[in-house]
Amino acid sequence: MAFQQHQSPNILVAESDCMGQCGAGPTVKVMPGNTWYCRVTPGDVSRIVEEHLRKGELVRDLLHPRFHPPEEFSVQDS
């Protein structure tokens, strides 16, 4: 699992059973915040760790549209 190498006292990495999103998989769910990323590749892991987990910024191009519709993020938010 690509996220395992990023585990720390502040980041807990855990595998899960089916979350019902296989069609958009692989998926990553970040808690707290209930943020869902979809179609995540091993190459995306470092971006999610750096931008979301360390800087607190969403990786918008990987957000799952079912949980984070594009209209939630206007041009003003960029």
23-52 tens-digit pLDDT: 887 889 998 889 999 999 999 999 999 999
Structural domains in the chain, sorted by start: 25-77 (3.40.30.10)
The DSSP code for 20 is S
21, 36 Cβ separation under 8 angstroms? yes
Residue 32 is predicted with a pLDDT of: 86
Tokens read off for 13:
């990495």
- The residue with greater pLDDT, 63 or 18, is 63
Residue 2 is predicted with a pLDDT of: 73
Mean pLDDT for all residues in the chain? 84
- The residue with greater pLDDT, 18 or 73, is 18
Distance between CA atoms of residues 28 and 35, nearest Å: 8
The reported pTM is: 0.77
Distance between CA atoms of residues 20 and 58, nearest Å: 22
